[in-house]
Structure 1
């Protein structure tokens, strides 16, 4: 049985010195409304009627930009175990997410955001 998951967001991981420029660029390009996250290093770009959002994530250090997908999970630990059975490896746990590495070395996250509503569970 599969635990409920869905593609939740595409996360753009941005170097600190490029963050404001990237945020302005993606907001202008998409026309989507920026919304600050609960942590200062996150800004979400959303638009009504679109279930997938763009998450801008300010990196602590480092050059350039990369991207990864986040999957919203009803039960992140059950989804982690399923992904591990298929060859993924757990890299680390964050406040509301689990960082995974797929068999080819790509990084992605399993989040605690509700797959139906996109809302984080109460703290």
Structure 2
């Protein structure tokens, strides 16, 4: 009984001293991919994402992921893909898939921030 009381008191003290921190709602929700349908949005990804875009870009879906490119670059980059099209961009670089423009704003250990400019 004595050990149980000490264990319970120890756990209670730890919980009071270091309360659990909840993740912010925006981080838990992930990027708003529906906002990218018109080809104009800014997203931060922590894992690969895929979303639909307007038919005016002649693309059905776009997939965005952070990748490591070895060889000449030895760097993390952003890979943007659509059926039959691929572009891999470093931080600060711009590119396009058909007429959909994309710019890599930043790349971190946790993910990347990308702006689609239509």
- Scaled to the shorter chain, the TM-score interval is under 0.3
Q: TM-score, normalised by structure 2?
A: 0.26
Q: Which has the larger radius of gyration?
A: 2
Q: TM-score, normalised by structure 1?
A: 0.26
Q: Which structure carries more relative contact order (alpha carbon 8 Å, separation 6+)?
A: 1
